[in-house]
Amino acid sequence: MTGAAEVFVAALVTDLATGLGVLPVAAAPRADARGPGVATAVAAGMMLSASVFALADKALRLGQAVEVVAGMLAGAAFFALSSRLVSTRRWRLRNMSEDDSRQPIVVIGTMFVHSIPEGVAIGVGYATGEVRFGLLLAIAIAVHNIPEGTAVAVPLRARGASVGACFWWAVVTSVPQPIVAVPAYLLISVAQPLLAASLGFAGGAMIFLVVAELLPESYASSSKLDTAWGVTIGLVAMLGFTAALGL
């Protein structure tokens, strides 16, 4: 499999993993939200670990600290501005009123925007030339996508959407990952001086989304203790993946 094709397949798998988050909603539509909250915390821990101990660490080994810092700040600013733009729009979903559509659209839009830097992270990870590094990031993002799918499905299902509709909306939120991953991979493969800053960009964007979106979401549906344990377990698990892959 060629490099670009491998990147596309990895990013496509992470996209489809979002659809798995619909399963808990399909099996138990009125289940307590604590489970998804804890799962979100675990995913947040994995994302933090991947951002700091994989992306930022790799960036510092490949470039200057100022490049990495600038990239991380740019990534955080990109996510913050994109999320704000989405939250100000007034769209409505088919067969739903504007009031009923508001929460699902904000969730879908936010997930869609923050999947862009995740796709960049996959492409940049593979562009380092270390397949295991790209695989590590893809695993972290795929696991993180599952509770995101649940977050998308819950408000839709509560407003009468079918399980099938919930699945496809969940998958749609991660569509940017396979779309963005390949161009990011191709760009960085031929522009190696951009690699350190690009790794920092992806890491900064993911750290920002964890703090701005995932942790508040977890706090809203589970206790602070559950969230703390979830983040810790996710972070340690991702460190284990990193060690196992020899990165």
Helix, coil or strand: residue 61 = helix
Res 160: pLDDT: 74
Res 187: pLDDT: 83
Res 173: pLDDT: 86
CB 157 within 8 A of CB 103: no
Domain spans, the chain: 3-19+35-244
DSSP calls for 117-136: HHHHHHHHHHHTT-HHHHHH
Res 85: pLDDT: 72
Burial class of 23 by CB neighbour count within 10 A (0 to 12, 13 to 18, 19+): middle
Res 208: pLDDT: 87
Res 179: pLDDT: 93
Residues of the chain with pLDDT under 70: 1-2, 28-34, 36, 86-107, 110, 114, 154-155, 158-159, 192, 242, 245-247
DSSP calls for 168-183: HHHHHHTTHHHHHHHH
**Measured between alpha carbons, how far is 243 from 241 in angstroms, rounded to an integer?**
5
Res 205: pLDDT: 81
What are 209-220's pLDDT values in tens digits? 788 877 887 888
Name the nearest CA neighbour of 4 among 135, 142, 186.
186
Res 95: pLDDT: 61
